[in-house]
Amino acid sequence: MGKQEIQTKKDLVVFTGGGTGGHVYPGLAVIERLREEWDAEILWIGSRAGMEKGIVESWAKRLGGLEYRGIPSGKLRRCFSLKNFTDVFRIACGFFAALGIFLRRRPALVFSKGGYVSFPPVLAAWLLGAPVITHESDLDPGLATLLNAPFAKKICVPYEESVAHFPARFRKKLVVTGNPVRREIFSGRAEEGLRLTGFSGARPIVLVLGGSLGALEINALTRAALDELLPVCDIIHQTGEGKYEDIPRPGYFAAPYFTAEFPHMLAAASAVVSRAGAGSLWELLAAEKPALLIPLRGAGTRGDQVRNAELFERLGAAQVLSAASLSPEDFAAAVKTLIAASRREVMLRAIRRAAGRDGKDAAALCAAMIADIRERRI
């Protein structure tokens, strides 16, 4: 009986990553496609305290079952910090936790979407001989991707331009796939977005994304510019968890975070204000939405959002505000420029050109790569 159980047990595919929604939603997009290729059990390994747990568990039913396991995690930093010493201990604990999970059930493959929590499972998988694929969403690699790269069989990157940002020794592993976009982004209905917000659709609608964790700068600029913007447009404002303020104004609809409603809000929008996280940019590209980007910048970041935003601006797919200090007046003027009909038409043409640069379905490519490695074809 034991032998029969072993023979009928499904393969296990492990996804790992977290810290922000940008490290989770692209992975979920790959799982959507993978379900069409491979009837495997799927486990997501993330941090115990991160937001990824709630996102993954909310998707479990629609993905036909998806288990989540949290492990200890520490932040990986390029700069000197006393916290590096304590976080090294947390990373070591995360490695042994991942190793314990894998010793009980050997993974057929591990797919990493990055973030500091991904390194321990990647290392544990490599030590046990399980193949690893890692995906980098940004134009240039983050520290987690560079740490995972030596242990990966394939490294997926979003742009041809990304290849030059990797050390030469990794070039043979690189595959340009684009960034995976979840299917629901393509299924949003503008009329449902209007119903949810109570807007008529007679005026331009600006969707302001404060990010999954909340962008204080964007939130502050939006609230300060309401008097100037509400006479000319309606505003949908995702403030981020814990950053919500009840501001009852006609033409203004705010919520901490959109989940199932997000595709409908996006479909209803004429234009979007956002940070420049890689996953968000590709969702805006897929939805054909002109964007005003205010990238995260400064000493606390590695500058990836600035470089992402600059690339999209060069492609004509976005307008960028990246000054060290932005006033509500600057912000309002930029939004008004963005929603002008002539400006939107020019940007829409550029967005369609950018979206057609390679014609790739990144989620399908990644899922097919996973299935190919399973059958040892690559």
**pLDDT tens track, the chain, 378 positions:** 444 444 457 899 999 999 877 889 999 999 999 998 888 999 999 999 888 999 999 999 889 889 999 999 877 655 555 566 677 889 999 999 999 999 999 999 999 998 899 999 999 999 999 999 999 999 999 889 999 999 999 999 999 999 999 999 999 999 999 999 999 999 999 999 999 999 999 999 999 997 666 588 899 999 999 999 999 999 999 998 777 888 999 999 999 989 889 999 999 999 999 999 888 899 999 999 999 999 988 766 778 899 999 999 999 999 999 777 789 999 999 999 999 989 999 999 999 888 765 557 999 999 999 988 877 655
41 and 127, same domain (yes or no): yes
Contact 78, 143 (CB under 8 A): yes
Domains contained in the chain, number: 2
Secondary structure (H, E, C), the chain? CHHHHHHHCCCEEEEECCCCHHHCHHHHHHHHHHHHHCCCEEEEEEECCCCHHHHHHHHCCCCCCCEEEEECCCCCCCCCCCHHHHHHHHHHHHHHHHHHHHHHCCCCEEEECCCHHHHHHHHHHHHCCCCEEEECCCCCCCHHHHHHHHHCCEEEECCHHHHHHCCHHHHHHEEECCCCCCHHHHHCCHHHHHHHHCCCCCCCEEEEECCCCCCHHHHHHHHHCHHHHCCCCEEEEECCCCCCCCCCCCCEEEECCCCCCHHHHHHHCCEEEECCCHHHHHHHHHHCCCEEECCCCCCCCCCHHHHHHHHHHHCCCEEECCCCCCCHHHHHHHHHHHHCHHHHHHHHHHHHHHHCCCCCCHHHHHHHHHHHHHCCCC
Same domain, 199 and 277: yes
> Strands 109-112, 132-135: parallel, antiparallel or unpaired by DSSP?
parallel
User: Would you say residue 224 lies in a domain?
Assistant: yes
Assess if residue 161 is contained within a domain.
yes
- Is 218 within the bounds of a domain? yes
- Signed CA dihedral, 280, 273, 212, 298: sign only: positive
- Tell me, yes or no, whether 251 and 264 share the same domain: yes
Q: Are 326 and 364 within one domain? A: no
Q: Is 261 in the same domain as 324?
A: yes
Q: What is the pTM of this model?
A: 0.86
User: Is residue 236 assigned to a domain?
Assistant: yes
Same domain, 145 and 196: no
Whether 258 and 313 map to the same domain: the answer is yes
On whether both 146 and 198 belong to a single domain, the answer is: no
Whether residues 347 and 211 share a domain: the answer is yes
Whether residues 234 and 292 fall in one domain: yes
Residues spanned by the domain of 278: 187-355
User: Is 112:92 a contact under the CB 8 Å cutoff?
Assistant: no
- Asked whether residue 2 is assigned to any structural domain, the reply reads no
Same domain for 229 and 102:
no
* Domain at 164, CATH number: 3.40.50.2000
Euclidean distance between CA atoms 333 and 312, whole angstroms: 20
CA atoms of 153 and 329, how far apart (whole Å): 50
Residue 3 lies in a domain: no
Question: Is 289 inside a domain boundary?
Answer: yes
**Pair 24, 54 in one domain:** yes
Instruction: Centre a 10 Å sphere on the Cβ of residue 215 and count the other Cβ atoms it contains.
Output: 23
Q: Which CA distances in Å does 153 have to 23, 346, 357, 367, 369? A: 20, 41, 26, 15, 11
